[in-house]
């Protein structure tokens, strides 16, 4: 009997290892590398394809450059999609956001869609701990497949920004951003940035996970969704910060997965594994993530069934 139990235990362990999500890695950051890692996923973008990125604040230099992503966007025949911000800045008003899109060169290479320019829609959430629904840009309904193309970096409120943030805050309309940041308290940016409305940090992080899951479920019921994260120009501040802190980390590479939770976990693990040198210092990034309890977003996303923190890293040479 003991031998049978031991055999079953070993078999279950093998199954668990084999069931781990694959996260692909290329230690090269180039237009060709983006296409190669997309192909490695083995999931073909089809139907009406949107590529969700952050266009970055006008004075922020760290956003993913159009020339870097051009081959991938062309390969999937995608439309660049974005939404306005809930904070005062270069992308809060429609005309100003379009100016940034033009200034950063996106509209000269791609079709671009500001999804909440005219309206917004509510989509279902599975986790109702804080949110009753997710409020996204109305034009999300125009697409069948999403390439969630993320710039991995730090973030003033979330600790870090990756796939989960791009899916949640990134896909939310202005009102949706207020709803997530306030953990379901308000549905308009009016009076958002008060302690009363944004005081629950874990509630905010859990709301990000819940709204990210809503977007994932939305596209899984259509033609699908994949996730690619570029680890370059990694300031501790997000591309949403007008004047970010200096970059202290070396560019690392590109990661991709069919699981946003595994992908974010892999990126955070890579930062944790970095050694401090004169040219590469992860200290500030790790402090920012820890201060904002940033990994709670990943933990909560796993808890509600969005994905798994367990993964197998596969490097593409």
Query: Residue 19: its pLDDT value, please?
Result: 64
What is the number of structural domains in the chain? 1
Residue pair 243/290 in contact by the 8 Å Cβ criterion: no
The 10s digit of each residue's pLDDT in 292-317 is 999 999 999 999 999 999 999 999 98
| Host domain of residue 254 | 22-315
Asked if residue 94 is part of any domain, the answer here is yes
Query: Residue 8: its pLDDT value, please?
Result: 44
Listed residue (187, 116, 104, 118) closest to 151, CA to CA: 104
Asked if residue 247 is part of any domain, the answer here is yes
Asked if residue 5 is part of any domain, the answer here is no
How many residues make up the chain in this entry? 317
For every residue of 119-162, DSSP letters joined together read -EEEE--S--SS-S-EEEEGGGGG-SEEEEEEE-EEETTTEEES
Asked if residue 237 is part of any domain, the answer here is yes
Longest dimension (CA), the chain: 72
Asked if residue 249 is part of any domain, the answer here is yes
Residue 245: both structure tokens together? 């802190």
Residue pair 211/167 in contact by the 8 Å Cβ criterion: yes
Residue pair 124/113 in contact by the 8 Å Cβ criterion: no
**For residues 70 and 96, what is the distance between their CA atoms, to the nearest angstrom?**
23
CATH of the domain at 230: 3.40.50
pTM above 0.85, yes or no: yes
Asked if residue 234 is part of any domain, the answer here is yes
Listed residue (245, 270, 276, 242) closest to 255, CA to CA: 270
**For residues 199 and 180, what is the distance between their CA atoms, to the nearest angstrom?**
12
Residue pair 234/153 in contact by the 8 Å Cβ criterion: yes
Positions in the chain whose pLDDT score sits under 70: 1-19
Neighbours of 208 (CB within 10 A): 27
Query: Residue 199: its pLDDT value, please?
Result: 86
């Amino acid at each position: 009997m003991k031998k049978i139990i031991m055999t079953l235990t070993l078999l279950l362990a093998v199954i668990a290892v084999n069931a781990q999500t694959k996260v692909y890695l290329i230690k090269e950051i180039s237009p060709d590398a983006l296409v190669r890692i997309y192909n490695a996923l083995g999931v073909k973008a089809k139907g009406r394809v949107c590529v969700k990125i952050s266009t970055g604040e006008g004075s922020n230099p760290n956003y993913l450059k159009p020339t870097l992503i051009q081959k991938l966007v062309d390969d999937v025949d995608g439309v660049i999609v974005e939404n306005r911000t809930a904070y005062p800045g270069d992308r809060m008003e429609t005309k100003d956001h379009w100016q940034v899109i033009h200034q950063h060169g996106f509209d000269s290479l791609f079709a671009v869609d500001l999804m909440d320019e005219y309206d917004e829609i509510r989509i279902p959430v599975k986790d109702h701990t804080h949110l009753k629904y997710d409020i996204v840009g109305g034009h999300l309904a125009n697409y069948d497949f999403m390439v969630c193309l993320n710039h991995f970096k730090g973030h003033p409120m979330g600790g870090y920004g990756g796939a989960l943030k791009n899916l949640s805050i990134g896909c939310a309309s202005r009102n949706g951003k207020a709803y997530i940041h306030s953990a379901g308290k308000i549905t308009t940016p009016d009076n958002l940035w008060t302690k009363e409305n944004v005081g629950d940090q874990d509630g905010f992080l859990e709301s990000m996970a819940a709204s990210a899951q809503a977007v994932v479920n939305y596209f899984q019921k259509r033609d699908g969704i994949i996730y690619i994260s570029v680890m370059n120009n990694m300031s501790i501040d997000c591309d949403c910060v007008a004047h970010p802190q200096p970059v202290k980390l070396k560019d690392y590479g590109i990661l991709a997965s069919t699981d946003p939770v595994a992908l974010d976990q892999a990126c955070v693990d890579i930062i944790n594994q970095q050694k401090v040198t004169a040219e590469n210092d992860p200290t500030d990034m790790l402090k920012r993530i820890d201060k904002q309890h940033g990994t709670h977003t990943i933990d909560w996303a796993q808890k509600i069934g969005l994905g798994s923190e367990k993964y197998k890293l596969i490097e593409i040479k």
